[in-house]
Amino acid sequence: MISVVAPIFNEGAGVDRFVARLTEVLTGAGLSYELVLVDDGSTDDSWDRVAAQALLDGRVRGLQLSRNFGKESAVLAGLEHAAGDAVVVIDSDLQHPPQAIPEMVRRWREGAHVVEAVKRNRTGQGVVGRLGGRAFNKAFTGLTRVDLIDATDFRLLGRPALEALLRLPEHSSFFRGTSSWIGFRRSAIEVDIEERAGGRSRWTFGSLFRLAVNGLTSFTSAPLHLVTMVGLAFAGFAVLLGAQTLIRWIGGDSVAGFPTVILLLLVMGTFLLLGLGVIGEYLARIHEEVRGRPRYLVQERSGPVASLPEQLVRADRAER
């Protein structure tokens, strides 16, 4: 059986479109499947539509989180409640093409544990979004050695890879990064990102920036090392500048450098504040991990109860 996990946030009528499209594709491919729809604290009628779909179709299961915990937590909730032999994570706005799922399943049946969908295009993104996405993926890849170039959250994980992913204990998860970090036998397919089926994207520049910061700080300590390296560079520059000033003073030249002093103070002050900001982000991550609160809370469920395989998986995970 294939589990398809999709986070939902204020999608409204998009829930019905999404379920209809997935049903058409998966039924047409002759796949045994379940849809796990996770409502991440929507304020519209998204949950009512999820519950209605679960009543109409026994293959649809819904989870309503108690509030908006964010996409990463919603994806994690869906993964932990999925009962399939393989799990596909897909966005509910239909920008990820559902027609690629049968090919992903075929690659999995041929032996791949993780099947990634790689972007051929960036339809629906503005210039700033495209440049920002590429810059983040390249920076993340360079700092962590985990390849995220043109990567998406649209991917299939076989049960062994999924179990390995769910064993990672960190509170601040980053699905795209951790599902690449775990390794396992992999395959990739190219997909064309489609236009959003309806409504507007819920992502703002601020939320995307926050996601990028959380992804980097929860996955790598490289920014802390960069602060150290820049600090060493400034120390070397200070030694050279001090030597030049001392030589000019011994030679009797007046040291007229008020603008230079102001410029150096501004640069050093900016660097110190940025360095403190980076350290603060890591302290925040440590605080979250030490606090140990649940990564999400389920308020309500709809559809069939957990299947026997899922109960066994949870029992095994609890023992570990």
The domain limits of the chain are 2-202+294-319, 222-291
Residues 6+ apart with CB under 8 A from 22: 4, 35, 98
Other Cβ atoms closer than 10 A to 196: 15
Q: State whether the Cα torsion 232-220-188-69 is positive or negative.
A: negative
Distances (CA, A) of 166 to 3, 76, 77, 242, 314: 15, 8, 10, 54, 10
- CA–CA distance, 271 with 258 (Å, rounded to integer): 20
Closest CA to 90 of 103, 80, 78, 73: 78
DSSP character at residue 195: P
Looking at residue 154, its pLDDT comes to 87
Q: At what angle do helices 127-144 and 222-250 cross, to 10 degrees?
A: 90
Looking at residue 313, its pLDDT comes to 45
pLDDT under 50: residue ranges of the chain: 306-320
Closest CA to 87 of 169, 173, 164, 9: 164
Looking at residue 299, its pLDDT comes to 82
No. of H helices and E strands in the chain? 11, 8
- CA–CA distance, 13 with 22 (Å, rounded to integer): 15
Looking at residue 127, its pLDDT comes to 56
Distances (CA, A) of 211 to 147, 200, 203: 18, 19, 10
Q: Which helix (H) or strand (E) covers residue 188, if one does?
A: strand 186-191
- CA–CA distance, 45 with 232 (Å, rounded to integer): 55
Looking at residue 77, its pLDDT comes to 87
Looking at residue 317, its pLDDT comes to 47
CB 64 within 8 A of CB 40: no
Indicate the residue type of 22: L
SS3 10: coil
CB 80 within 8 A of CB 320: no
Looking at residue 197, its pLDDT comes to 59
Question: Under CATH, what is the fold of the domain 2-202+294-319?
Answer: Spore Coat Polysaccharide Biosynthesis Protein SpsA; Chain A (3.90.550)
Looking at residue 144, its pLDDT comes to 62
